[in-house]
Chains A and B, each alone.
Chain A
Amino acid sequence: MNLAPNVLALLPEYILTLAGVFIMLAEPCLKPGSSRKPLGWIAILGTLLAAGASWFQLGFGTVHAFSGSIQTDAFSIFFHLLIAAVVLVTLLGSLEYFEGNATHAGEYYALVLFGAVGMMLMTCSTELLMVFIGLEISSISTYIMAGFRKGQAVASESSIKYFLLGSFATAFFLYGIALAFGATGSTSLAAIAVGLGTTKTPTLAILALAMMIIGLGFKVSAAPFHVWTPDVYQGAPAPVVGLMSTAPKAAAFAVLLRIAFSGFPSMQHRWAIMIWILAALSMTIGNLGALLQRDVKRMLAYSSIAHAGYLLVAFTAFPVEGISAAAFYTAAYAAMNVGAFAVITQVGGFNETARTLDDYRGLATRRPVLSGVFAFFLLSLIGIPFTGGFFGKFYVFSAAIGSGHIWLAVIGLINSGVACFYYLRLLATIYAKPTAEASEVAPATPVSVPAIVGLTLATVATLVLGIMPGNTLWLAQYAGTSTMIENAREQCAATPNNCQQMPVPMERR
């Protein structure tokens, strides 16, 4: 099949946009109070098609479209598939969650799809303008989704906090782009990389990079820019938290990788220090913060800050190993975290009846299977062998040690030890003897079939990443390699005389 590059490169985005617009149009046509599940199924179908389209793109290698502002390569396809999978699990878990509880549940499905379009757009843009547009599409959708439990005071509070801090971060990111434009005369990553070689104002470029890292640091909730995370995650609906703690973060990490590795590779020694500090702070603050929490969602919010820190460790392994380790860790983290929040969705329900550790006491006697799955995700978050979390951490830390950042790896390993404590405390609580009053509250509604499918998907993904990481790892390494080859090609095209001095990219294994 021959498709124009402009069609091929954004095929998944087109599919999701069409599905989202269709849901938006169909929503008011349905009778108020009638089931919104058909719209949910359309969203699921659209997501599956988008994932299929991404897989289809893999056969075309690197595709440039829209005057070079979109670059579909193995790197973007990896993140496209990841985002589609997260969205799929979220949608499957949300079908029952919003049914009968929210008045316009159809809008939720449309917003999830639009959000996914934005995130996917972020991962395949090599032009900062497109990155900005994608970032905003994904952010604005998630601001609304965070407050989707209308009428609940905590929901709107969560929404406003997310909105204000998110916009604040966007402004920083934009200022960074403006300064990068000033330093190099372009907003395209390839042109910035070339322009940095001849720029007369390197200080401005460093400032630009710092501003962009601050902006994206907010989005991935890396300490010290994490203050919004616990509040927002605590107040937002559980399936939405599952989505926004994984997919937008994966997209933001993809952007950070592109900016750092493709746009500013010549300033590696500068941004490595900033990322080093961010990583160390995020791991420490995230894990120490989680120790103090009684609210389970809040605890997992701090845990996600810590995981953002582990992910940042991968950045220090420049160039190819860093990309593949970061990509693999993102996948492992997404699988286990979206799974954990899918369990919380089922345990708490729309009214979030189970919030604190006390509410989870003795869960195992009431919901044995659900508790078992939850335990598996928690073990993966700790990093126990045979789970995705273990291999993720293994690759990240070995990449860091391989590039000589021993101390960062040591800090990470100490933090993993600290993290054991609060995950195990939650586990112990779940398997503790239930108190008398807790057993009375149990109206255990059965888990619906789509939610079971979603949970199974997340479980299988976490397990497969832990037992047979080969395929994903290959795709992650291919992603890293293709990005570096493309960088080298762009640089060669711009400065043919220096071609011999380019680092030889790793061959595809």
Chain B
Amino acid sequence: MSAQVPIAYYLILAAILFSTGVAAFLIKRNIITIFMSIELMLNAVNLTFVAFAHMWHQVQGQIFVFFVMVVAAAEAAVGLAIIIAIFRSRQTLNVDQINLLKN
């Protein structure tokens, strides 16, 4: 093993991914895209966990990643079901048009 990628590179990449997710969550107007940006944030977290697990030589972080993936899958199942329900009642997935709940 000669040239190893420094741990900071992974962390910076993860931080960029996370920030992209946050920005997309706030900017995007389609619910599916917003949901994808949340998944991006979760994957950034996973990357952070794996990088730190490598740094600390501990398997704890990698175990955490498994749980995050499982929970994200469960969340996606529920989330997509809700998205289908909302499309059926509104015929749109644009968040700007989903605005019945206001004063």
Contact = CB atoms under 8 A, between A and B. Distances in A.
B100 interface: yes
Interface stretch (A40-48, A159-167, A330-338, A453-461): A159-167
B75 A181 contact: no
A292 interface: yes
B60 A294 contact: no
A265 B47 CA distance: 28
A27 interface: no
A151 B56 CA distance: 51
A174 B42 contact: yes
A140 B31 contact: no
A295 B67 CA distance: 40
B64 A175 contact: no
Contacts of A293: 103
Nearest to A235: B101
B86 interface: yes
Contact of B75 (A150, A167, A298): A167
A486 interface: no
Interface residues of B, number: 42
Contact of B35 (A144, A164, A182, A230): A164
Contacts of B103: 292-295, 298
A487 B90 CA distance: 52
Interface in A138-164: 140, 143-144, 147, 150-154, 156-161, 163-164
Contact of A157 (B53, B68, B101): B101
B101 A178 contact: no
A210 to B, nearest CB: 14
Interface in A182-234: 182, 185-187, 230-231, 234
A147 B85 contact: yes
B82 interface: yes
Given A156-B86, A156-B89, A158-B101, A164 B64 contact: no
B101 A231 contact: yes
Nearest to B89: A153
Contact of A234 (B11, B38, B101): B101
A3 B75 CA distance: 35
Contacts of B49: 178, 181
Contact of A182 (B25, B55, B68, B71): B55
B78 A174 contact: no
17 contacts: A129-B67, A132-B68, A132-B71, A152-B89, A156-B85, A159-B85, A159-B86, A160-B82, A164-B35, A175-B44, A175-B48, A178-B45, A178-B52, A181-B52, A182-B11, A187-B61, A295-B103
Given A133-B71, A171-B45, 15 more contacts: A129-B63, A132-B71, A143-B78, A144-B78, A152-B89, A153-B100, A157-B101, A160-B31, A163-B78, A175-B18, A175-B44, A177-B45, A181-B56, A185-B52, A185-B58
Interface of A: 129, 132-133, 136, 140, 143-144, 147, 150-154, 156-161, 163-164, 167-168, 170-171, 174-175, 177-179, 181-182, 185-187, 230-231, 234-235, 292-295, 298
